[in-house]
A = this chain, B = another copy of it.
Amino acid sequence: MPVVKSRREQYSEATRAALIAAATRRFATDGYAATGLEDVAADIQATRGAVYHHFSSKKALFEAVLEVLEGQSTERIGSAYRAAPDRWAGAMAALDAFLDQCLDPVYSRVVWREGPIAMGWHGWHQTEQKYAYGTITLILGEMLADGLLAPMPLRSLADVAFSAIGAAGHGLAEAAPTDQTRLRAEYRDVLIRMITGLRGDAEQTAT
């Protein structure tokens, strides 16, 4: 395996990257369904042939786009979590990082709105196990292990939490830019109250 790539390989990689970039823009602005592969190809002065050479299907192209976006995002959120002094602060930092991430309209639209549409709910959810859903599960699992949260089944907890946090991110992304600062604080408040309700020391009076 040559360590330095041939010109052909470099060109090929460049077009592949350009296709992913163009597809990202199209999917983010027009949505998955309304984006034709013709459009994507035209954006980089190529034809659909190029697309089908690099990706086996439209869905596969979307998956490549999603992996890039989620890879970056998960990295950011994860490092915010790890940088914090303790688990609780880490969870808060991760939440903040996530909400910040959702202020990027490309991220929120492609990952959270188009994702399930393009890949089907199952496929999307499965992919998410490597990224946002997986991160949330990890954090909650450690909080449970440390006794920060009352004992409860991780899977069910993660399902609900993932969806709740996603809704906040989604609502944030949809909002007008002028409202985003206020809304971000609101969602944050609601989510933190909810998480606090799950703490090990929180008394439960309800049936």
Chain A interfacial positions (CB closer than 8 Å to B): 31, 88, 92, 113, 116-117, 120-121, 150, 152-153, 155-157, 159-164, 166-168, 170-171, 183, 186-187, 189-198, 202, 204-207
Contacts and interface: CB of A to CB of B under 8 A. Distances in A.
A207 B92 contact: yes
A188 to B, nearest CB: 9
B196 A206 contact: yes
Contact of A186 (B156, B189, B191, B204): B156
10 contacts: A92-B207, A121-B170, A150-B193, A152-B186, A152-B189, A156-B187, A160-B187, A194-B194, A195-B206, A197-B202
A156 B169 CA distance: 11
B198 A194 contact: yes
Given A159-B170, A160-B190, 20 more contacts: A88-B206, A92-B206, A92-B207, A156-B168, A156-B171, A156-B186, A156-B187, A159-B168, A159-B171, A162-B167, A163-B163, A163-B164, A163-B166, A163-B170, A193-B197, A193-B204, A195-B206, A196-B197, A196-B202, A202-B202
A149 to B, nearest CB: 9
Which are the 6 A-B pairs with shortest beta-carbon distances?
A: A197-B197, A163-B167, A156-B186, A164-B164, A194-B194, A159-B171
B197 A198 contact: yes
Contacts of A157: 190
A162 to B, nearest CB: 7
A92 B113 CA distance: 30
Nearest to A113: B121
A189 B159 CA distance: 13
